[in-house]
Amino acid sequence: MRLPRFSLIILICAYVSEYTASYYLQLQAVGGNVCSLTLVALFKGLFMLVPGIVSYYRSLSLATVYHALVLVFFVYSGILALSPFADVPLVLIDIVQGGMSGLMALLAISSFTAFRLDRARRGLLISLAAATALLPAVHLLVDMPQERFREIMLWAYMVATALFFLVQEKPLEPFPSVRDATAGYEGTGRILYALFPTRSVSVITELLALMVFNFFFGVLEPFFYSLDYTYYTADSSMLVIVGIIVLILVLSSMPAIRKQLDAIFFLIVVGSLVVLFVSLAFVSDPAVAFGVMIVGNSVLHVQILLFLIETSIERSLPPFFRYAVIISVFLALPNILGRLLSEPILGASLSWDSFAMSRIAIAALAFVTLVAVVALALVVWRKERRGPSEAGAPAGNADSEERALSALQDEFGLTQRELEVAALYSQGRSVPVISSMQFVSESTVKTHIKSIYAKLGIHSKQELIALIADRG
């Protein structure tokens, strides 16, 4: 079921509130130090992973996660209400704040997958642009304590999300479990397909680069916070992020350019890493390095969110497991590791000049990572380019073949996995090769091929190739 436009407007408002509230929940860790911030980040990831793991084994709905969030919200509100009158451990407050932030982020992003793909993509980008623009606007224009504004955004999110559920004509259907959505895949192959159903060069490089940015930010975070460098005070950097998101929104709405977005994203990744290396190694102003880090990290995060939403909708994959695992592993874990290694790397001094050698070492690591990312991307790209021709794939236009397969899927009711197997089999890939590429057993591939033959009314690979050529 795909939802009406009014629901998307409500969800955009909810996401803007969630983004802002989550930012303040993480920024204003009660302990007021890096240890408290690390604790909040750790439990944000853990609270996301719980519904993610549950969704691997059983179906899970947006409403169920919202009910869990409501429970944590009232626990959080009760703790804050009691704190003036009782000695509430600061660690407990940090844990609950992290849990709130994790569940809110998981629910907000996963809700977009209930919409049609074009609306989901547009809604996410509009939400991110509006939420990012709100932080500098509040900093510059609103004369209100941050704690008060955080509470307003929390309540706004809870109310908007409740309204999102109430306006639906029918209850939203639960997402299938990962096991049900990936039937035919086994073991590690099932997990890999659930997380990365497409082998995109840009996705590989984006995830690696995201780990790099979050690790470096974790290492340098104590120094940045000592100078009061936060997203809240980085007005110019936030406006740059807004401009980039708007540019992505415009480009993604242009069919002729949309096909080139992977290449554009790859250039953004490489460019961000180059600028990070230069700013760490040669720039004397730490504000520049901080700005580069938050811009690069935020833009990469946008691209990963787009990947998660688009592939979840296109492949009918449950979003809870995918978002929880990818964000925890590629974003939260490197950042926490960087914070833990911050003191050994930087030492006790928090002077930009005093740890110049550490900056150079970090910059060298950034450069090595850049080379590795580019090399890996080229290897994967060359493999993708070389594969069809070496395997004896028929000559022809790839776009026409894709259109032909899509037409066959619509006409004969091929499943998504049968479509993928048909494409590879018609390109000359053998059953063992397809088994390796799709992370399934050879018997499963043979079963798919038999099903394809039965649905299409054919009996051989040559008939399949001819049918695709005729429809192209």
Distances (CA, A) of 198 to 117, 270, 274, 312, 460: 16, 21, 27, 11, 27
Report the percentage of the chain scoring pLDDT > 90.
16
In sequence order, the 6+-apart residues with CB closer than 8 A to the CB of 136 are: 234, 235, 238, 239
| Per-residue model confidence (pLDDT) at position 69 | 94
Which is higher by pLDDT, 446 or 394? 446
Which is higher by pLDDT, 109 or 27? 109
pLDDT-based confidence at residue 307 (cuts at 50, 70, 90): confident
Q: Do residues 251 and 306 lie in contact, with contact meaning Cβ atoms separated by under 8 Å?
A: no
Report the percentage of the chain scoring pLDDT > 70.
78
Kindly report the average pLDDT of the chain as a whole number: 78
Instruction: Give CA–CA dist 466/459, Å, rounded.
Output: 12
Instruction: Give CA–CA dist 251/228, Å, rounded.
Output: 35
Q: Do residues 160 and 131 lie in contact, with contact meaning Cβ atoms separated by under 8 Å?
A: no
* Enclosing H/E stretch for 45: helix 34-57
| Per-residue model confidence (pLDDT) at position 381 | 53
Q: Which residue has the tokens 């996963």?
A: 110
Bridge partners (DSSP) listed for residue 60: 175
> Quick check: pTM over 0.95?
no
Q: Which two tokens stand for residue 394?
A: 């028929």
Question: 176 — alpha (psi -120 to 50), left (phi > 0) or beta?
Answer: beta
pLDDT-based confidence at residue 115 (cuts at 50, 70, 90): confident
pLDDT digits (tens, 9 = 90+) for 132-164: 888 888 877 877 777 788 888 899 999 999 999
| Per-residue model confidence (pLDDT) at position 388 | 40
Q: Do residues 43 and 122 lie in contact, with contact meaning Cβ atoms separated by under 8 Å?
A: no
For the chain, the distance separating the N- and C-terminal CA atoms, rounded to the nearest angstrom, is 31
pLDDT exceeds 70 at position 456: yes
Which is higher by pLDDT, 399 or 53? 53
Instruction: Give CA–CA dist 220/234, Å, rounded.
Output: 16
Which is higher by pLDDT, 241 or 208? 241
Instruction: Using alpha carbons, select from 380, 364, 373 the residue that is nearest to residue 269.
Output: 373
Answer positive or negative: Cα dihedral of 78, 80, 84, 87: positive
| Per-residue model confidence (pLDDT) at position 268 | 73
In sequence order, the 6+-apart residues with CB closer than 8 A to the CB of 194 are: 56, 178, 181, 182, 317, 318, 321, 322
